[in-house]
Amino acid sequence: MNDFNEIKDTLVNLDEQRLLQLVKNALENGIPAGDILNKGLIAGMDIVGEKMENEDMFIPEVLMAAQIMGKGVEILKPLLGAEETSSRGSVLIGTVKGDLHDIGKNLVAMMMESAGLVVHNLGVDIAPEEFVRMIKEKNANILCLSALLTTTMPMMKQTIDAVVESGLRDQVKIMVGGAPVTQAFADDIGADAFASDAGSAAKGAKALIN
- Rule CB under 6 A: which residues touch ligand B1M? 42, 45-46, 48-49, 52-53, 59, 62-63, 66, 98-105, 107-108, 144, 146, 148-151, 175-180, 195, 197-198, 201
What is the closest distance, in whole angstroms, from the C-beta atom of residue 111 to ligand B1M in the complex?
8
**Cβ nearer to ligand B1M, comparing 28 with 171:** 171
Shortest Å distance, C-beta 124 to ligand B1M: 7
Nearer to ligand B1M, 35 or 46 (CB): 46
Nearer to ligand B1M among residue 126 and residue 175 (C-beta) = 175
Which amino acid belongs to residue 165? E
CB of 24 to ligand B1M, least distance (A): 20
Q: Name the burial class of residue 85, with classes exposed (0-12), middle (13-18) and buried (19+) by CB atoms within 10 angstroms of its CB.
A: exposed
Q: Which is nearer to ligand B1M, 28 or 200 (CB)?
A: 200
What is the Rg, in whole angstroms, of the alpha carbon atoms belonging to the chain?
A: 17
Is 204 within 8 Å of 193 (Cβ atoms)? yes
Q: What's the order of all strands across the beta sheet hosting 173-177?
A: 118-126, 90-96, 142-146, 173-177, 193-195
**Nearer Cβ to ligand B1M (1/100):** 100
Tell me whether residue 167 is exposed, middle or buried, using C-beta atoms within 10 angstroms of its C-beta: 0 to 12, 13 to 18, 19 or more: exposed
| Helices and strands, number each (H, E), in the chain | 10, 5
Shortest CB 35 distance to ligand B1M, Å: 13
How far apart are CB 114 and ligand B1M at their closest, in Å? Answer: 14
